[in-house]
Amino acid sequence: MMRALVLNGPNLGRLGVREPDVYGTASYEDLVVAAEKWGAECGIQVEVRQTDDESELIGWLHEAVDAGVHVVLNPAAFTHYSYSLRDAAAQVTKAGLVLVEVHLTNPYGREAFRHVSVIGPVATGTVAGFGLDSYRLALSAVASRA
């Protein structure tokens, strides 16, 4: 069975509690359950992880490359400034694996600092603005691209 890591960056563990007017009322646990179900529906064995730590997230991308596993990545605020995360993400796509950048919100409709993604240029593609559904669309893209 195809495998994918669904990786989430800082503050996403606080989904449902953090600015629900912006990020919705679904909890991180809801995201985990939904992503596992959506993965199974498209034939992907999904493992969902979250960290507030940049180096841990980079390590998980290295792990994906070494294990040949596709990635759905919500880099959260790292999206906008982490060149080290970008360099790790580039290794995933250079290895011929799919990496879909996802966002719950549409960063282009928000503050100017969110209009730049340093991850986007090295991702296979980006899904943003559909709430939890962004992850479903991303997993479906992995299934059809991989």
Amino acid, single-letter form, for residue 15: L
**Closest listed residue to residue 85, CA positions, set 70, 103, 99:** 99
Is 14 a residue that touches ligand DQA (CB under 6 A)? Answer: no
**Closest listed residue to residue 83, CA positions, set 118, 59, 116, 41:** 118
How many DSSP H helices and E strands does the chain contain? 5, 5
Q: Is 115 a catalytic residue?
A: no
Chosen residue from 74, 82, 124, 126 binding ligand DQA by CB under 6 A: 74
Nearer to ligand DQA, 17 or 67 (CB): 17
Please state the φ and ψ torsions of residue 93, each to the nearest 5 degrees: -75, -35
Q: Is 81 a catalytic residue?
A: no
Chosen residue from 92, 104, 118, 142 binding ligand DQA by CB under 6 A: 104
Is 57 a residue that touches ligand DQA (CB under 6 A)? Answer: no
Residue 88 and residue 58 in contact, taking contact as beta carbons nearer than 8 Å:
yes
Question: In whole angstroms, how close is the CB of 66 to ligand DQA at the nearest point?
Answer: 25
28, 83, 103, 108: which is the annotated catalytic residue? 103
Is 107 a residue that touches ligand DQA (CB under 6 A)? Answer: yes
User: Which residues 6+ apart lie within 8 Å of 1 measured at CB?
Assistant: 43, 44, 45
Question: In whole angstroms, how close is the CB of 107 to ligand DQA at the nearest point?
Answer: 5
Which are the catalytic amino acids? 23, 103
Chain residues that interact with ligand DQA, rule: CB under 6 A: 11, 74, 76-77, 79, 103-105, 107, 114
